[in-house]
Chain A
Amino acid sequence: MRRPFVSSLVTSGLILLGLVPAVARAQEATIVSGQVSTRGAPVVGASVSIPSLRLGTTSDGQGMYRLTVPASTTGEVTLSVRRIGYVTRSVLVTLTGGQLHQDFVLEASAVELTAVIVTGLGGEIEKSKLGTSAQQLNAEELNTTRAQNLVEQMQGKVPGVQITGSGTQGGSVNIIIRGQNSITQNNQPLFILDGVPVSNADRGGDRGSGFDYGNVLSDLNPDDIQSLTVLKGPNAAALYGSRAANGVVVITTKKGANSGGRMRTELNTNVTFERPSILPEWQNQYGQGAGGAFSWVNGSGGGVNDGADQSWGPKLDGRLICQFTSPGAGTPGCTATPWVPHPDNMDVFFRTGLTVTNTVAVSGGSDRAYGRVSLGGDNVDGVFPNNDFRRRSAGLSGTFHASDRFTADGSVEYVYNSGKNRTGTGYWGRNPLENYIWLGRQVDFHALVDYAGKSGATNGGPPTREFNWNYNYHNNPFWLQEQNPVADRRDQVIGSVAAHYRITDGVNATLRTGSDIYRLGIEEDFARGGLAFIDQKYAGGFRFRNDYRSDNNTDLSVTGERRLSDWLHVNALVGGNQRREYFHADSQQTAGIVVPEIYNPANAAIAPTIGQRIERRWVNSLYGSAAFTLFDWWTVEGTGRNDWSSTLPAAARSYFYPSVNTSVLLTDALPRLRSRVFDAIKLRASIARVGNDAPVYKTQPVYIGNANKFNGQPQFSLDSVLANANLKPEITTSEEVGAELVMLRNRVTLDASWYHKSTRDQIFNVQIPPTSGFTSKFINAGEISNRGIEALLTVTPLQVPGGITWTSTFNFAHNHSEVVDLAPGVSTIVLGQGLFGDVNIEARKGEPYGTIRGNKFLRDSAGNILTSGGLPIQDPAFSVLGNIQPDWTGGWSNEIRYKSLALSMQIDVRHGGKIVSLTNYLGDYAGTLASSLRGRETDWNSPGIVVKGIDADTCALPGGCKPNTTTVTAETYYQNLFHIIEPYIYDGGYVKLRELRVSYDLPANWAAWFFGAQAATFSVTGRNLITWKNVPNIDPEFAYSSGNFQGMEYMIPSNPRSIGFNLRIVP
């Protein structure tokens, strides 16, 4: 009984303040009130309105709403309620004065036509009126199981969106919507947070070297996200401007609502345990060495093969051999010890990761002002030793209705994100996993854990080195992780303030300014004895880097919405935007310091190399759109935008791009179509075009300064990229048609699209003959086209009222990418290279983006492998060996709910698409993988391998070519494969059991015990539980960065398998 009292108190207070004049004179008014709820729980923040009277309010924390209709209005009106993520409900009510009670029960909706979704710059729209493809994910769908970050949380849920997790914890995630548009520039979508573009900049690693510091967007706390809408291409996104050609992900944060002055609290606690999901299969029969021989003296070649980091040594049969752990190792009195395998030496390295995340949020307010504040904390202990992550986030958002004309809202998110001791990626001395590819399989890693108090001198190695099993090429992996600090810290603030002014009914002006600002500091320290980067003469080295980035956007826009007659409704928008981007990076590094373990420029023995880079870009824009809805079933919308970008030459700076889309709700147009089978049929079509500007500073030739002085002298070098003063904007055009069907009384819904998009006049850096003095030139050329289909099918096979409900969702996407044209005379663009000049990932004319090209076996015309001396001959020319694009991707998710109990699971499928595995390539070379046992089943040189092929040496002899009969050892065979990458190209397809979750909704009174919350759910979750795949030894899903060079891995850890618990308390 307390509620009405509070409510009336507030109302009287407002009346006293004279803020609600309409109420004050409502002697004969009709008071419409009621509750909005779903599944027994109130729906907060639903918009309840009488559109014909332009009256509206939002539901409060109890789901209650209350509308006062002036006495002058009577008769029958439509009362409707809308809430993002729910099906809109409308009822006819008759106004007679006095009290009128009307409750609403909403149905949650992901795909239904009637749902309201966030779209375009115009805000929210019923999906039935949308002429483009968009899919919205709500908080519940996103956060059922906790992925490492927000983007990965979308994995497998949206057809046409390909998301590749990094493998390294806290690492980069690659997201591609409907295929790559750009040959060499960015292919990642634009992210918009509450109307403000936010950065997803990336500092990834690669298969060569580096550390993967991940994407900026990973910092956002998923618990602060209300919904996430994917606008899949230029069609839906044309109004967002240049950066929208790759699609847009619109993120809406939780806002709070009128709670009648009560505080609402929500809590989400998550605890998960992680292990690597896939580990290579190693051989345990042969130890370190070459030619079957090994004996330790100093670990760098002083003994018999003791500098070799390969396992072509003696059989691990317990024979006595002097090893790095043997008593007296490194001295003539070394006591030989048994030569035995240590199959667990990789398990020893990893620990069980622990992730604990907590979010507490408080929201509430009155009908005049409300807000939400949240605090989040993540503590992640990584699967690598001494590797952990911390994240603290704080968000505040508020809305203030100053008058019935003026409203202001604002939000700020502050995130502090830090990583400690991330592991190096790729082929250099800082990747501890390299110790496993290049290894003596007899090495006992238990012995390496205890390096403290020992040094290289303990077993005959250099005294300046840490205790290890090899002093030529490797550092002790535990020492790498524990004594070489790597720290990164990102502070990010995303804030925006908007003022809305209702000029007149249906016409609103909004002025919004917002910034996304972050600073990323990275410190990489290299201790004495490390083999990567530093000069061995000195006591270590360091690399420091600071990035600062700010992206400010200011928009002024006016929207108008009016029903011009009973058959025509208009929705229009006109606005302008100014974008100012600023990026500043500085760095200093030195490969030599004086005093060990003081990683500070003051301690530099070699003058630190200092770097600095500044980038600025401004884009001014004007845009507008108009949507006409006829007879409530046919909508036609046109948009246009003109940009002026600083990065283009003055003459080409201004560019305009239009779009048109239409949708027809067929079942409303022809009501006869509505039958037992079809509840709703919607068709849509659109055509759009988006322009894009150039990278900064590409119109003028420059001399690039070298960060180092030579003997005190400065050094400059002419930029080897030829500048171009005649650049034009690049243009993406896209056509799309789609159908949305609702069938069998909402039990089956289907949303399907066909699209074709093409980006031409691409601004890219094309290779020119280097003998011209320049390696490349920025030009407008080339075209990539992507065409494809995607479908999302939701079925509810079982729906027993009050009993069991089973919802099953399938998504499917097929994209055909084609590099239609490159520059004149250019047939291929290399996107990335392997480690040894033997394989490339390329954009090749006439083929899908991402061709794998490399060396293969030389074969005769019948396809037989040609051998010489018993060994396959390498074809000297590069050949096309495959393509990284999958044939199709899909997902299948299910939720089975019985009363309070729910079981959900999601399976992701990637079918086809090749990958290059340098792990397998080098693991065979080094003789460490189980696959390298072939040919030495009996002993290191027996039975050997007889390559099935034609002995080319016989072809010159009388009698012609004969089959090869020469036996070679496995060692010779696998090492001869070096540079023949062909056998190491694999089918990258997989089926992953991505998510599995069992949840239980606690009784409502338990939830209420917690600060009056409405619902509480406890669940047990698992992620990346099972992977079915074709490639041996590695996880086919990997990404080092969000760059365009994908599809090639080297010893990247697999995506972690996580199992945990979750407690969610919903306000």
Chain B
Amino acid sequence: MMTSRILRLSGIAALIALGVGACNSDTLTDINQDPNNPTSAPPGPVFTNAARLAMGRWLGGGAMDLRGPEFTVQHLAEVQYPDEDAYRRLGPGDTDGDFIRAYTQDLKNLQAVVDVGKSENEPLLWGPAQVLRSLVFSYVTDVWGDVPYSEALRGDSGAIAPKYDAQKDIYTGLFADLDAATTAMAGAPATAIKLGAADPFFSGGAAGWQRFANSIRVRLAMRLANVDATTAQAQINAALAAPGGLISSNAQNANFPWPGDGIYDNPWMVNFRTRDDHRMSNTLMNQMLPHSDPRIPVYAQPTVANPAVYAGMPNALTQAGASAYFTISSRPGAVFYGATVYSCPTCGARTGATFPSFVMTYAEVSFILAEAAERGWVTTAGTAAALYNQGIQASMDQWGVTDAAAVAAYLADTAIAYKGGTPGLRQIALQKWIALYTNGVQAWAEWRRTCVPETLVPGPDAVQNTVPRRYQYSIRELSVNGANVAAAVARQGPDVFSTRMYWDNNPTVAPTYPGATCGTR
């Protein structure tokens, strides 16, 4: 009797064991295969996503453009909640997210395309990704200074805490990266795989990417003008000689085309759709209004109070002070609101949601070359005066200004007509600063290098007396990569707004500079 019970019990125990054992390890491993997301992705979709994220950040509606540098550089002023304008919301808590996402979204995904492209030896896959990666790295270093570059983006190889490279070394690296990409793309065989429609800039065309790369290279080279003129001159000439040349018409601009489908709209337009915080800054309008700049009706809208009047407002007022300007200062241009259709050679008949972001333009390249010519660094591109006028004309065309007479009158204005020498350098810098409207970080970097216009000083309610010369390091990095951040701070200087970065560190060499008072209230 007892034996049979034991037998029956053992039988059941055996059944249980079998039942569990039947589900072997392979089944459980299969269950844990993510059915939602692939373990590998084609380079095209990764490139598209990274490009869209990066452009939305650096020419977008957030802390790295519309709500940060565009106030810092006083193209715009804040009329409702003047916190960013007073540098109150540009602290590490406010800019941390963009620093993090620049690396984890923009750069890491571009790096993934570079890695795949190189392993498959496809230069037209990795070339464009490397160019865009260089552009994003340049934005990051121009905002924060010393940042991780040579050891960055390798967490999947176990390099979890990258060191911070000196900005000088980053620039050296970027020149080499751009050079390598240009050369490789130029040498790509006809059978090379292209990004095609996955490339929103040039649909995979190698020539467009070479011009884009060479133009970024002259931009970065000129940024070193005050600290390393030799390198600056050498890189500009190398870029001019590199395969593909520079952007030489508005049709060749690197524009980012927003589809305007309600999901991916022009990011400024997205902000203005629900917010009414932005007005034109006096600092910009005071440079444009006295000379009847034909770009005024594109950059700005007439005031609500008087439809015949365009006006700016001061930066960084108190809230009550700012709100007084609500109806008597100009909103940014109707082109960002979709109210009026503008047409220009580079953007076509696009407006509002579909208005493109201008990433690298013929106008900017012209001004860089004008400065190089004025400095006597290049002689082949034309005279400084011709290049200066070419830059202004290119900017007018880019923004859809079609009134040739008005443009001619503007060029003939005594203050605008090119003067040459140091006054000429100031004119070039001022025109570039005006032309770089919407490209906040570039305008801010150029202002730091040239101190033009000198009227750019903190507003009355700003939390400090000097215009920020960088933003503060990421809180996240401080907490989890503290030793490397500390090394960067030791090298570069205190982690504050007023610390100058490498290329901003030799102001007296800048011929346009008024001295140490630059940007001081």
CB neighbours of A621 from chain B (8 A):
20
Known: A531-B274, A771-B147. A713 touches B44 (CB 8 A): yes
The 8 Å CB contact of B257, one of A607, A618, A711, A837, is A711
Known: A578-B19, A609-B263, A614-B36. A838 touches B46 (CB 8 A): no
In the complex, B405 has a CB within 8 A of chain A: no
Question: In the complex, what's the smallest C-beta–C-beta distance from A1008 to chain B, in angstroms?
Answer: 48
CB neighbours of B101 from chain A (8 A):
770
The 8 Å CB contact of B108, one of A302, A704, A773, is A773
Whether B25 pairs with A650 at a CB distance below 8 angstroms is yes
CB neighbours of B41 from chain A (8 A):
703, 716, 718
Known: A699-B32, A716-B41, A773-B155. A710 touches B27 (CB 8 A): no
In the complex, B119 has a CB within 8 A of chain A: no
Bound together, the chains give a CA A621 to CA B12 distance in angstroms of: 15
Question: In the complex, what's the smallest C-beta–C-beta distance from A294 to chain B, in angstroms?
Answer: 11
Known: A609-B263, A646-B31, A703-B40. A770 touches B104 (CB 8 A): yes
Bound together, the chains give a CA A576 to CA B15 distance in angstroms of: 10
Whether B320 pairs with A291 at a CB distance below 8 angstroms is yes
Known: A696-B32, A715-B49. A772 touches B9 (CB 8 A): no
Known: A775-B104, A838-B93. A714 touches B474 (CB 8 A): no
Bound together, the chains give a CA A879 to CA B83 distance in angstroms of: 22
Bound together, the chains give a CA A305 to CA B261 distance in angstroms of: 34
Whether B159 pairs with A772 at a CB distance below 8 angstroms is yes
Q: Which of B237-245, B287-295, B476-484 contacts the other chain? A: B476-484
Bound together, the chains give a CA A719 to CA B112 distance in angstroms of: 11
CB neighbours of A503 from chain B (8 A):
5, 8-9, 12
Question: In the complex, what's the smallest C-beta–C-beta distance from B490 to chain A, in angstroms?
Answer: 18
Bound together, the chains give a CA A1023 to CA B474 distance in angstroms of: 48
Bound together, the chains give a CA A1038 to CA B259 distance in angstroms of: 43
Bound together, the chains give a CA A1029 to CA B281 distance in angstroms of: 49
CB neighbours of B516 from chain A (8 A):
none
Known: A697-B32, A712-B197, A716-B45. A772 touches B154 (CB 8 A): yes
In the complex, B28 has a CB within 8 A of chain A: yes
The 8 Å CB contact of A504, one of B5, B53, B259, B481, is B5
CB neighbours of A250 from chain B (8 A):
none
CB neighbours of A575 from chain B (8 A):
16
CB neighbours of B5 from chain A (8 A):
503-504, 507
Residue-wise, chain B 264-283 has the 8 Å CB interface mask toward A (1 for contact) of: 11000000011010000000
CB neighbours of B20 from chain A (8 A):
576, 578, 620-622, 644
Bound together, the chains give a CA A693 to CA B260 distance in angstroms of: 45
In the complex, A701 has a CB within 8 A of chain B: yes
Question: In the complex, what's the smallest C-beta–C-beta distance from B102 to chain A, in angstroms?
Answer: 8
Whether B477 pairs with A771 at a CB distance below 8 angstroms is yes
Known: A504-B5, A606-B261, A710-B259. A773 touches B154 (CB 8 A): yes
CB neighbours of B433 from chain A (8 A):
none
Known: A644-B28, A773-B155. A290 touches B100 (CB 8 A): no
Whether A720 pairs with B200 at a CB distance below 8 angstroms is no
Bound together, the chains give a CA A711 to CA B258 distance in angstroms of: 8
Q: Which of A412-420, A952-960, A972-980 contacts the other chain? A: A972-980
CB neighbours of B108 from chain A (8 A):
718, 720, 773-774
Question: In the complex, what's the smallest C-beta–C-beta distance from B152 to chain A, in angstroms?
Answer: 5
Bound together, the chains give a CA A605 to CA B16 distance in angstroms of: 57
Whether A622 pairs with B147 at a CB distance below 8 angstroms is no
Bound together, the chains give a CA A812 to CA B17 distance in angstroms of: 44
In the complex, B414 has a CB within 8 A of chain A: no
Question: In the complex, what's the smallest C-beta–C-beta distance from B147 to chain A, in angstroms?
Answer: 7
Question: In the complex, what's the smallest C-beta–C-beta distance from A766 to chain B, in angstroms?
Answer: 8
Whether B50 pairs with A770 at a CB distance below 8 angstroms is no
The 8 Å CB contact of B49, one of A301, A710, A827, A972, is A710
In the complex, B383 has a CB within 8 A of chain A: no
Bound together, the chains give a CA A616 to CA B264 distance in angstroms of: 33
Whether A702 pairs with B257 at a CB distance below 8 angstroms is no
In the complex, A408 has a CB within 8 A of chain B: no
Residue-wise, chain B 196-208 has the 8 Å CB interface mask toward A (1 for contact) of: 0110100000000
CB neighbours of B25 from chain A (8 A):
644, 650, 653
Residue-wise, chain B 159-198 has the 8 Å CB interface mask toward A (1 for contact) of: 1111000000000000000000000000000000000011
Whether A837 pairs with B319 at a CB distance below 8 angstroms is no
Question: In the complex, what's the smallest C-beta–C-beta distance from B270 to chain A, in angstroms?
Answer: 9
CB neighbours of A644 from chain B (8 A):
20, 23, 25, 28
In the complex, B156 has a CB within 8 A of chain A: yes
Bound together, the chains give a CA A861 to CA B372 distance in angstroms of: 54
Bound together, the chains give a CA A504 to CA B4 distance in angstroms of: 10
Query: B residues 320-355 with Cβ under 8 Å of A?
Result: 320, 323, 326-327, 338, 353
Residue-wise, chain B 108-150 has the 8 Å CB interface mask toward A (1 for contact) of: 1101100000000000000000000000000000000001100
CB neighbours of B323 from chain A (8 A):
290-291, 301, 305, 308
Bound together, the chains give a CA A536 to CA B339 distance in angstroms of: 13
Whether A605 pairs with B262 at a CB distance below 8 angstroms is yes
In the complex, A743 has a CB within 8 A of chain B: no
In the complex, B388 has a CB within 8 A of chain A: no
Question: In the complex, what's the smallest C-beta–C-beta distance from A703 to chain B, in angstroms?
Answer: 4
In the complex, A971 has a CB within 8 A of chain B: yes
Bound together, the chains give a CA A578 to CA B16 distance in angstroms of: 10
Size of chain A's interface in residues, with CB distance under 8 A? 93
Known: A574-B13, A653-B25. A302 touches B304 (CB 8 A): yes
In the complex, B103 has a CB within 8 A of chain A: yes
Bound together, the chains give a CA A537 to CA B265 distance in angstroms of: 12
CB neighbours of A312 from chain B (8 A):
320
CB neighbours of A616 from chain B (8 A):
31-32, 35
CB neighbours of B462 from chain A (8 A):
none
In the complex, A363 has a CB within 8 A of chain B: no
CB neighbours of B155 from chain A (8 A):
722, 768, 772-774, 777
Query: A residues 217-249 with Cβ under 8 Å of B?
Result: none
Please, which residue of chain A has its CB at the minimum distance from the CB of B27? Answer: A618
Whether A769 pairs with B162 at a CB distance below 8 angstroms is yes
In the complex, A144 has a CB within 8 A of chain B: no
Known: A697-B32, A719-B37. A576 touches B17 (CB 8 A): yes
Bound together, the chains give a CA A979 to CA B42 distance in angstroms of: 44
Whether B264 pairs with A710 at a CB distance below 8 angstroms is yes
CB neighbours of A302 from chain B (8 A):
304, 326-327
In the complex, A88 has a CB within 8 A of chain B: no
CB neighbours of B148 from chain A (8 A):
769, 771
Whether A307 pairs with B274 at a CB distance below 8 angstroms is no
Whether B103 pairs with A703 at a CB distance below 8 angstroms is no
In the complex, B91 has a CB within 8 A of chain A: yes
Bound together, the chains give a CA A225 to CA B160 distance in angstroms of: 52
Please, which residue of chain A has its CB at the minimum distance from the CB of B481? Answer: A769
Whether A576 pairs with B474 at a CB distance below 8 angstroms is no
CB neighbours of B484 from chain A (8 A):
769
- Specify which of A291, A701, A711 lies most central, judged by the most chain B CB atoms within 10 Å of its CB: A711
Bound together, the chains give a CA A838 to CA B475 distance in angstroms of: 12
Question: In the complex, what's the smallest C-beta–C-beta distance from A258 to chain B, in angstroms?
Answer: 30
Question: In the complex, what's the smallest C-beta–C-beta distance from B201 to chain A, in angstroms?
Answer: 12
Bound together, the chains give a CA A718 to CA B116 distance in angstroms of: 13
- Specify which of B80, B88, B160, B318 lies most central, judged by the most chain A CB atoms within 10 Å of its CB: B160
Q: A702-B37, A703-B46 are in contact. List 11 more A-B contacts (CB 8 A).
A: A291-B320, A607-B261, A607-B263, A702-B36, A711-B257, A711-B261, A769-B148, A837-B91, A838-B93, A975-B319, A979-B88
User: Would you mind naming 13 contact pairs between A and B with Cβ atoms under 8 Å apart?
Assistant: A535-B262, A556-B15, A556-B16, A558-B13, A606-B261, A616-B35, A622-B17, A700-B33, A716-B49, A770-B476, A773-B153, A773-B156, A775-B104
**Which residues of A are at the interface with B, using a C-beta cutoff of 8 A?**
290-291, 300-302, 305, 307-308, 312, 472, 503-504, 507, 509, 531, 535-538, 556, 558, 560, 574-576, 578, 590-592, 605-607, 609, 612-614, 616-618, 620-622, 644-647, 650, 653, 696-697, 699-706, 708, 710-720, 722, 767-775, 777, 825-828, 837-838, 876, 971-972, 975, 978-979
Among all A-B residue pairs, the 5 with the closest Cβ atoms: A606-B262, A772-B155, A837-B93, A773-B108, A769-B481
